Amino acid sequence: MDEFPDWFIESFADYWQSMGSSRIEGRIAGYLMASEATEGVSAEELAKAVGASRGSVSTYTRSLIAAGFVRLVRRPDDRAHYYVMDEDVWAGFLDKEQQYLRGQRALAARALARTTPGGPAHERIRNMRDYLGWLLEVQQLPDAWRRYKAERDAGEH
């Protein structure tokens, strides 16, 4: 019996939960990451595999979709929902993270105009705006990841 999938799913869920997220959500993400299914996994299969209700699977897969970890796919002539994790899920995560950082920075910029200059709220929100701007400026993670992957893949052939 191959212990890899079960071990990986549980270990992934442990890390996921340690960051404040739901263990079931972590088990779903771990299951999809370790899955060999090429056309997606049904909600029913996910529920059975991770020991959760279909309602929980629906809730947590929506959260994973919003975070860029999972995509919902359809099969021809099939009304069921299927979930897939992209081969490079981390690039999708980085893209979503960048969108989040830009949105939060824009919120901070709008909020800053409504605070009292020099006040505690002004300083916190100014630091928020500038920190998020700094992250966006210095990280450039999505592009760096794509370059790294291209170099890695070129070296394997």
Do 16 and 70 belong to one domain? yes
Query: pLDDT of 59-78, one tens digit each?
Result: 999 999 988 899 999 888 88
Adjacency order of strands within the sheet including 82-84: 41-42, 82-84, 71-73
Alpha-carbon 120 to chain mean position = 33
Query: pLDDT of 83-124, one tens digit each?
Result: 999 889 888 888 888 899 999 999 999 999 999 999 999 999
- What's the predicted TM-score (pTM) here? 0.77
Range of the domain at 110: 89-155
Do 61 and 112 belong to one domain? no
DSSP code at position 69? S
Do 94 and 53 belong to one domain? no
